[in-house]
Structure 1
């Protein structure tokens, strides 16, 4: 089956069929529908590889996310992926997803894989390491949009959330409830997400005249931002530092913290008030329901996809950084 046979059956030129397939020129809707119906009848599938070589476009976008086993971050990044795909599908693009498991070596291997796929662009949540390697490792001239985390030593558009603002509002809320000994638990420092949330925590304390006590700040190491580390660091803060409130800037660690409180019959919020980060369904069904800082994950994906498509069309435009607002959801735990 060839494009000529489709054109003949639809009574149009091969150029018109090509424009319908590639979206390269306007085609009247009636003509377009006739061509698509003939393609369906003849079970014609365009040769995407040949088409990409001719047009220098594959209509494929790569997405790299850093998900560890048993990490609830998968919900966050899958919601981002859905937002990305909702935009790309309308524009005739396909999405290829890969998981770096937050490992720099695997991330670099995935970039090489995407090079072989002739992608038109890449959206990625970078790992902990610096990303100067991207300029030399990438083959082709496809653009990169960074999401959730801001990389070091790399150029590209960034779509992030206002993590510092979210942390600030959470801690200010706890202070407003009369708490001054507020523990802070976070994943590994050195990532912009963790660093910015810590900055928001400290700024809220400073702005409200509450002393910053470094021993109340507990960060997991790079290999242990997990349920178990949330449990362990909560135990450390309560046992050794007598906190009355807790802000956990990481979703899976929030679950670990809550498990410690429940296991030890520590009443929430009477004994310890707690606010976590990322608002998933499970946070609404705990007893009491958890107060959370909600991130607009789907919208983050939409924004990243739109910016990438703009970058493909206008590669010489100045790079931009977009920040989407978080929202503090107050429930019974605070």
Structure 2
């Protein structure tokens, strides 16, 4: 019977309604303690595993949450999803995972949104780094469907709660760290400039140079693709400059591009950090294990995942915190109060940077010679 038992069987054995079983399993306060204990004892005796879908159908409310992610091989997804799964596991909800391919992300995302609206199988959507597909999320927003966006590639969408990292502040900190080590010819390998994240990190780089009074050299700013191939290609261009014009340090806007810089330096017979210093951005799991270990800016992926899923659960469970007024005005009211959360980054100092030796000027040298004479 354990394999076939359902919520109706539990209700019959406990002599209560299926709605009472649902409330007891979801730990709702409006269930008599003795009744709850009887239901839970029968559940244990029968080996019943409750289905979130079944409970949702009985209670008239879905217990599933959609999570939209880019390709699962993307290294930035795992830490964020681990925290999301941890929070959901402690709730009465379960996750329905949708992965969109990099080649057909617009088409795939559109299909997911259409399916969500058609079936109403899930109670809300957490969209993680949807890229250009974020434009489809406005369709859900127009239907007052709870959505939270974790993104760094597009400006926040009006009316949709948004969580991201302080990319500009992180890039500023990376560049300022290199300046503090005595570097002035600091190259910046950008991500694709069609993305907001690339522009934000470039602005942080410029902020640090301007603060230090270092002129921006356009020859040291190249556009990559966030991938190792792009980092390698840009590094080759920088390293073929005349020695006096080469950068002494490179800020790569992603760890993957920093890996490409490492391989290019090796091909040119250069040592990191002896010949050139390097800072990345993201703190991928493998960055601490590179040879040498990569100095980088750590994005708070765990905290981003936690705050995003907690916010989505609040939107679902306590909509009055965000929606105020008649139902038909939900979009307008949420647009005015949709949270925008930007989390700070951290500089992870490892082994790919070195302090430049101070140069002795000719004036100082002649002064020392006179003093010794």
Q: Same fold (TM over 0.5)?
A: yes
**Shift in CA distance, 123/272, structure 1 to aligned 2, threshold 3 Å:** same
Task: Assess if the C-alpha contact under 8 Å between 2:53 and 2:63 holds in 1.
Answer: no
What secondary structure, in the 3-state scheme, does the structure 2 residue paired with 1:302 have?
A: helix
Q: Find the counterpart in structure 2 of residue 294 from structure 1.
A: 298
Superposed, 1:1-334 pairs within 5 Å as 1=5, 3=7, 5-7=9-11, 9-10=13-14, 14-27=18-31, 32=36, 34-46=38-50, 48-67=52-71, 74-102=74-102, 103-115=105-117, 116=119, 118-129=121-132, 131-136=134-139, 141-149=144-152, 150-151=154-155, 153-220=157-224, 224-240=225-241, 242-312=246-316, 313-314=318-319, 315-316=322-323, 318-334=337-353
Shift of 1:298: 1.1
**Shift in CA distance, 27/256, structure 1 to aligned 2, threshold 3 Å:** farther
Gaps of 5+ in 1: none
Shift of 1:174: 0.4
Task: Assess if the C-alpha contact under 8 Å between 1:249 and 1:276 holds in 2.
Answer: yes
Q: Find the counterpart in structure 1 of residue 356 from structure 2.
A: none
Greater CA drift, 57-66 or 139-148: 139-148
Task: Assess if the C-alpha contact under 8 Å between 2:75 and 2:285 holds in 1.
Answer: no
Shift of 1:278: 1.9
Shift of 1:171: 0.3
Gaps of 5+ in 2: 324-333, 354-373
Shift of 1:75: 2.7
Task: Assess if the C-alpha contact under 8 Å between 1:166 and 1:293 holds in 2.
Answer: yes
1:9-47 C-alpha deviation (Å, 9 max, x unpaired): 446665532211344435477754542342243244546
Shift of 1:141: 3.3
Q: Distance in 1 between matches of 2:258 and 2:101?
A: 20
The TM-score normalised by the length of structure 2 is 0.78
What secondary structure, in the 3-state scheme, does the structure 2 residue paired with 1:91 have?
A: coil
Greater CA drift, 58-67 or 302-311: 58-67
Q: Distance in 1 between matches of 2:106 and 2:116?
A: 15
Q: Find the counterpart in structure 1 of residue 329 from structure 2.
A: none
Task: Assess if the C-alpha contact under 8 Å between 2:254 and 2:282 holds in 1.
Answer: yes
Instruction: Calculate the aligned-residue CA RMSD, in Å.
Output: 2.7
1:127-159 C-alpha deviation (Å, 9 max, x unpaired): 443744433367953211111324465531111
Q: Distance in 2 between matches of 1:285 and 1:229?
A: 21
Shift of 1:307: 0.8
Task: Assess if the C-alpha contact under 8 Å between 1:128 and 1:190 holds in 2.
Answer: no
Q: Distance in 2 between matches of 1:288 and 1:48?
A: 48
The aligned length equals 327
What secondary structure, in the 3-state scheme, does the structure 2 residue paired with 1:104 have?
A: helix
